Amino acid sequence: MAYDDLRGFLSTLEKEGQLLRITEEVLPEPDLAAAANAAGRIGEGAPALWFDNVKGFTDARIALNVHGSWANHALALGLPKHTPVKEQVAEFARRWDAFPVAPERREDAPWRENTQEGDDVDLFSVLPLFRLNDGDGGFYLDKAAVVSRDPEDPGHFGKQNVGTYRLQVIGRNRLAIQPVPVHDIALHLRTAEEKGEDLPIAITLGNDPVMAIVAGMPMGYDQSEYEMAGALRGAPAPIATAPLTGFDVPWGSEVVIEGVIESRKRQIEGPFGEFTGHYSGGRRMPVVRIDRISHRTNPVFESLYLGMPWTECDYLVGPNTCVPLLKQLRAEFPEVQAVNAMYTHGLLAVISTRKRYGGFAKAVAMRAMTTPHGLGYITTVIVVDEDVDPFDLPQVMWAMSSKVNPADDVVVLPNLSVVELAPAAQPAGLTSKMIIDATTPVHPDARGNFSTPTKDLPEAKDWAARLQRLLSEARG
Ligand SMILES: Cc1cc2nc3c(=O)[nH]c(=O)nc-3n(C[C@H](O)[C@H](O)[C@H](O)COP(=O)(O)O)c2cc1C
């Protein structure tokens, strides 16, 4: 099942019992964010939240926590809602192999229904803005997919980037944006600023659920997010041409905001409660001037709560971080079996691999740190043997506790790049990184006493089935 827009997905969520309409009147602050925060604290299967009775707003339609449980993530991929996480990751990886799937261009985008231009642009009249965490410096658009092109090669479809970068509202037609230096939009901005030019952008809000997944996915610089969305949806992604920039934007967006990042201007942005469970401070960030807003009639404002994990953000960037890492590693090291990078947006990754020779596991870990995601995030890599499941944390802990001789198996590399938001970095943006090699040494690495492992008895599998049968008979 492929959804062409957010509305189509919300109605499926509702049919599946995965959307909760809150009809009684709530306050914009703190109720909206507190409810989305709470969705991450009520256990498995949390629903998306819909609010349309918000004090002080005459006409608000707000969707929160849309990807905020494994059930909703499964439905976003068109899978049954009870699909286990590991199967969701495996299916995601299978669909990746269909990349690239060319998008389908459509003419009649519903966001063409209403337009504001020039001096008439007023974000506050289009969106029911509210703050998320109580220390936030202002209102944020934190689930937008931002489109930009490489100023040196604007006709290259793959180099056109679609990425999620949070935006702080700093005026009726002004935003501050945070392009992390390792991300594609930062490369586009650097090129534009070197030429002394503004960087045109299109900010799309309220997208179909797969678009939101690919916008936060660490792909190669010249790989198209639209062609990846097609592979993951199993159907071409519907796109349309944005009227001012001419960029390709999702056909089904609720709101399309066009303008430029103004060359070489910076303004204080933040603080903001982050995915790390800590606030960023106020920092100087590039500034966006909005020249045009196109929007559907009665637009839905989609936002995402983030803060101390787990929140919607962790579900959204779970499989979409594990799978690119797996594929990028396997391109050079086919021995790699699985990658779990689901903790704090992959600041830590667990990788299972077969070993070609002694020292191999450390090479895999170093490569992980130089992938598009690794450059800015992965700070700790735990490497385990091929028969240890990285998603089974007790097994990972067994490998760490029984295989690691710290003097040789823990490697610390100083002064590598990381997002400024990583709270332990010193200075911000620079950190030491750690490899924990929890694999069994192989030739010529002869350290330790691993020659006689105990394996599960060959009969244990049959016995497990037998015990389960006996137990269910005994329990009636
Ligand atoms: C909710 C959310 C907010 C994000 N905010 C930012 C941000 O402000 N700046 C940034 O550079 N990346 C941000 N990211 C991460 C990027 O979207 C992600 O790493 C993506 O892979 C970047 O792709 P790119 O390298 O193609 O630009 C955010 C991701 C999510 C899901």
Residue ranges per domain, the chain? Answer: 82-308, 318-438
Task: Count other C-beta atoms under 10 Å from residue 345's C-beta.
Answer: 27
Instruction: Give the pLDDT confidence score for residue 208 in this predicted structure.
Output: 98
Enumerate the active-site residues: 274
Query: Looking at ligand 1, which residue's alpha carbon is closest to its atom 18?
Result: 216
241 annotated as ligand-binding:
no
Helices (H) and strands (E) in the chain, counts: 15, 23
Query: Looking at ligand 1, which residue's alpha carbon is closest to its atom 4?
Result: 165
Strand pairing class (283-295; 279-280): unpaired
Q: How far apart are CA 144 and CA 259, in angstroms?
A: 14
When pLDDT is cut at 50, 70 and 90, the band that residue 357 belongs to is: very high
Question: For the residues of 11-77, what is the DSSP string, one character each?
Answer: HHHHHTT-EEEE-S-B-IIIIIHHHHHHHTTS-TTPPEEEE--BTT-SS--EEE-TT-SHHHHHHHT
Yes or no: say if 250 and 237 are a contact pair by the CB < 8 Å rule.
yes
**How crowded is the C-beta side of 465, counted as CA atoms within 13 Å?**
3
166 annotated as ligand-binding:
yes
Question: Which of 148, 164, 288 gets mutated to test ligand 1 (max ligand atoms within 8 A of its CB)?
Answer: 164
Instruction: Give the pLDDT confidence score for residue 407 in this predicted structure.
Output: 96
**What separation in Å is there between the alpha carbon of 77 and the centre of ligand 1?**
20
pLDDT tens profile 258-287: 999 999 999 999 999 999 999 999 999 999
Yes or no: say if 23 and 49 are a contact pair by the CB < 8 Å rule.
no
Instruction: Give the pLDDT confidence score for residue 1 in this predicted structure.
Output: 80
Instruction: Give the pLDDT confidence score for residue 409 in this predicted structure.
Output: 98
**Amino acid making up residue 43:** G
Q: Determine if ligand 1 sits within 6 Å of the CB of residue 345.
A: no
Q: Determine if ligand 1 sits within 6 Å of the CB of residue 273.
A: no
Q: Determine if ligand 1 sits within 6 Å of the CB of residue 179.
A: yes
Task: Count other C-beta atoms under 10 Å from residue 348's C-beta.
Answer: 18
pTM score of the predicted model: 0.96
When pLDDT is cut at 50, 70 and 90, the band that residue 476 belongs to is: confident
Instruction: Give the pLDDT confidence score for residue 277 in this predicted structure.
Output: 97
**What separation in Å is there between the alpha carbon of 317 and the centre of ligand 1?**
9
197 annotated as ligand-binding:
no
When pLDDT is cut at 50, 70 and 90, the band that residue 25 belongs to is: very high
Instruction: Give the mean pLDDT of 431-436.
Output: 98
- Tell me which CATH code domain 318-438 carries: 3.40.1670.10
112 annotated as ligand-binding:
no
Q: Determine if ligand 1 sits within 6 Å of the CB of residue 143.
A: yes
pLDDT tens profile 161-198: 999 999 999 999 999 999 999 999 999 999 999 999 99
Yes or no: say if 286 and 177 are a contact pair by the CB < 8 Å rule.
yes
Q: Point out which residues pair with 177 in neighbouring strands.
A: 167
The ligand 1 atom nearest the CA atom of 182: 25
Q: Determine if ligand 1 sits within 6 Å of the CB of residue 168.
A: no
Of residues 135, 140, 127, the one with CA closest to residue 54: 127
The ligand 1 atom nearest the CA atom of 218: 21
pLDDT tens profile 220-230: 999 999 999 99
Reported CATH class of domain 82-308: mainly beta
**What separation in Å is there between the alpha carbon of 215 and the centre of ligand 1?**
7
**What separation in Å is there between the alpha carbon of 163 and the centre of ligand 1?**
6
**What separation in Å is there between the alpha carbon of 388 and the centre of ligand 1?**
30
For 265-295, letters b (16+ CB in 10 Å) and e give eebebbbbbbbbeebbeebebbbbebbbbbb
The ligand 1 atom nearest the CA atom of 179: 11
317 annotated as ligand-binding:
no
Mean pLDDT of the chain: 97
